[in-house]
């Protein structure tokens, strides 16, 4: 029986399989799935969390990229009527294909560190479908997500995730919980999309642009980093001190800058 379940973790997929029963139980307790819910697990691997999620009685979709893991997952869970396996790349996945009701999808994943940030941004583009997300991530990524203004961890990831979600750093997980053990500590984060955005921007794409420009040279002042987008007078008009560095601004201030940019006339082509 054990032969089909032997699978060597692949570096190119960033695989580190969770095996610590205590950590698995703690994650399942934090998620606290119910039988009426619709769950989505990204990167189920060998099914360490999958079994517990199905045990809740919830409907469970999983997305797995590694073709070698598909027969393992099928052998374990194909007889479960509430289990549906989607083979593919979560970065390109159409979440609307799950036919989830608005604000209903509960997303779970032990995310490969090399795709965690772009995948979270992809999910945030579908935030209207999502009730909450629980992810295992590199600890320093979770610290950046949960950071506040004024420190070195505050940056593009913190601002854009907090624009869309409430962020809660739940607990840390050491390398020994995985096979093979990663070279970094991990952490569990809970992201809950805001029902009403606390600081809605006129155009969130302009907010992304302002934040990206501001943090491209984070040691410089705003009037220097944003000069291609906003002259100093427009920064002041947004109620922001142009002599500050980007890490000194809170989310609301960045939204004011983006809204000020939205007021600017489009450059005319000659």
pLDDT in tens, 155-177: 999 999 999 999 999 999 999 99
Q: How confident is the model at residue 111 (pLDDT cuts 50, 70, 90)?
A: confident
Residue 257: the pLDDT is 98
Are 51 and 80 in a shared domain? yes
Residue 111 inside a domain? The answer is: yes
- pTM of this prediction exceeds 0.85: yes
> Percent of the chain, pLDDT > 70?
93
Residue 267 inside a domain? The answer is: no
pLDDT in tens, 189-242: 999 999 999 999 999 999 999 999 999 998 999 999 999 999 999 999 999 999
Residue 212 inside a domain? The answer is: yes
Distance CA 197, CA 195 (A): 7
Are 70 and 27 in a shared domain? yes
Residue 199 inside a domain? The answer is: no
Tell me how far CA of residue 179 lies from CA of 16, 45, 188, in angstroms. 6, 11, 17
Lookup result for tokens 């007889």: 79
Are 11 and 40 in a shared domain? yes
Are 9 and 92 in a shared domain? yes
Say which CATH number the domain at 229 has. 1.10.8.100
Say which CATH number the domain at 81 has. 3.40.50.150
Q: How confident is the model at residue 35 (pLDDT cuts 50, 70, 90)?
A: very high
Helices and strands counted in the chain (H then E): 10, 9
Residue 17: the pLDDT is 79
* Closest C-alpha to 171, from 26, 42, 25, 33: 26
Distance CA 92, CA 3 (A): 32
* Domain with 9 in it: 3-193
Residue 267: the pLDDT is 60
Are 213 and 188 in a shared domain? no
Instruction: Give the mean pLDDT of 45-61.
Output: 94
Are 140 and 258 in a shared domain? no
- Map 60-116 to HEC letters: EEEEECCHHHHHHHHHHHCCCCCEEEEECCHHHCCHHHHCCCCCCEEEEEECCCCCH
Residue 10 inside a domain? The answer is: yes
Hey, what's the torsion of the CAs at 56, 60, 65, 71, to 10 degrees? 80
Are 24 and 146 in a shared domain? yes
Residue 160: the pLDDT is 95
Q: How confident is the model at residue 11 (pLDDT cuts 50, 70, 90)?
A: very low
Residue 258: the pLDDT is 98
Residue 4: the pLDDT is 41
Of 268 and 74, the one with more pLDDT: 74
Asked if the model's pLDDT at residue 3 lies above 60, the reply is no
Residue 212: the pLDDT is 96
Instruction: Give the mean pLDDT of 21-48.
Output: 95
Are 18 and 84 in a shared domain? yes
Domain-terminating residue out of 140, 165, 193: 193
Are 63 and 168 in a shared domain? yes
Could you give the number of structural domains in the chain?
2
Residue 198 inside a domain? The answer is: no
* Three-state DSSP state, 194: coil
Are 186 and 239 in a shared domain? no
Tell me the pLDDT of the chain averaged across its residues. Answer: 91
Residue 15: the pLDDT is 56
Residue 79 inside a domain? The answer is: yes
Are 144 and 40 in a shared domain? yes
Residue 270: the pLDDT is 45
Tell me how far CA of residue 78 lies from CA of 71, 75, 96, 109, 129, in angstroms. 9, 6, 23, 20, 26
Of 59 and 4, the one with more pLDDT: 59
Are 155 and 22 in a shared domain? yes
Residue 98 inside a domain? The answer is: yes
Domain-terminating residue out of 171, 193, 215: 193
Q: How confident is the model at residue 61 (pLDDT cuts 50, 70, 90)?
A: very high
Lookup result for tokens 């739940």: 170
Domain-terminating residue out of 141, 158, 193: 193
């Amino acid at each position: 029986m054990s032969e089909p379940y032997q699978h060597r973790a692949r570096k190119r997929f960033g695989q580190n399989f969770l095996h610590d029963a205590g950590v698995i139980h703690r994650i399942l307790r934090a998620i606290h799935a119910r039988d009426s819910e619709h769950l989505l697990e990204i990167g189920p691997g060998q099914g360490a969390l999958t079994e517990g999620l199905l045990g809740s009685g919830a409907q469970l979709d999983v997305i797995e990229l590694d073709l070698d893991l598909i027969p393992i997952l099928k052998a374990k869970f194909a007889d479960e009527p509430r289990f549906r396996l989607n083979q593919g790349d979560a970065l390109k996945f159409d979440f609307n294909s799950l036919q989830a009701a608005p604000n209903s999808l509960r997303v779970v994943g032990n995310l490969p560190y090399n795709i965690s940030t772009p995948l979270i941004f992809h999910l945030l583009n579908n935030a209207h479908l999502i009730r909450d997300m629980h992810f295992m991530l590199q600890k320093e990524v979770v610290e950046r997500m949960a950071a506040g203004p004024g420190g070195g961890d505050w940056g593009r990831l913190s601002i854009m995730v907090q624009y869309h979600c409430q962020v809660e750093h739940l607990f840390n997980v050491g390398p020994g919980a995985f096979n093979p053990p990663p070279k970094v500590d991990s952490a569990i984060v809970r992201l809950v999309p805001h029902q009403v955005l606390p600081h809605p921007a006129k155009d969130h794409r302009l907010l992304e642009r302002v934040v990206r420009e501001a943090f491209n040279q984070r040691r410089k002042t705003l009037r220097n980093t944003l000069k291609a987008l906003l002259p100093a007078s427009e920064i002041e008009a947004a109620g922001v001190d142009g002599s500050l560095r980007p890490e000194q601004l809170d989310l609301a201030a960045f939204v004011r800058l983006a809204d000020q940019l939205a007021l600017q006339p489009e450059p005319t082509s000659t």
